[in-house]
Amino acid sequence: MSIDFTMVDRTLLVTLEGEIDHHTCVEIRQTVDREYQKRRAKNLLFDFANINFMDSSGIGMLMGRYRSVAICGGEIGLYNVSPEAWRILSLSGIHKLMKTYSSKQEAIEALA
């Protein structure tokens, strides 16, 4: 799992590469929370372009981030979501809590 961060205004962009499961969620959770606090970000955006697998552990991880971002008055979103990842997002109902955008540009503009 590789995790990269970019800051655009008060939105933290998280680019994930690899597979999201119970094992990798530990690292994602810790790293994202640390960067989110350190950079005093408000919104959180996940780039899913290079996620080639996600199970329900990823849903738990996203729900947890949703809570902490909501407390800070921010919004959370996803972009470049594959049809496979979309299936578990819609199955869990979490897609009603966070928007999915078709591109990075669209996501950034929506949260600006």
Partner 1 sequence: MPKKNSMQIQFSSNSLNESFARVAVAAFISQLDPTVEELYDIKMAVSEAVTNSIIHGYENEETGEICINCAYEDEVVNIEIIDHGKGIPNIEEAMTALYTTSGDEERAGLGFTVMQSMMDEVEVFSEVGHGTTIRMKKSLGV
> From the CB of 6, what's the least distance to partner 1, in Å?
24
Q: Within 13 Å and on the Cβ side, how many CA atoms surround 105?
A: 0
Stretch that binds partner 1, among 14-22, 41-49, 70-78, 103-111 (CB under 8 A): 14-22
CB of 109 to partner 1, least distance (A): 30
9 sits near partner 1 (criterion: CB under 8 A): no
Q: Which of residues 21-80 bind partner 1 (CB under 8 A)?
A: 21-23, 25-26, 29, 53, 55-57, 59-61, 63-64
Helices (H), 7-101: 22-38, 56-71, 83-92
* 2: nearest Cα among 13, 19, 10, 75: 19
- Write down the least CB distance from residue 58 to partner 1, Å: 9
Left (φ > 0), alpha (ψ -120 to 50) or beta: where does 40 sit? Answer: left
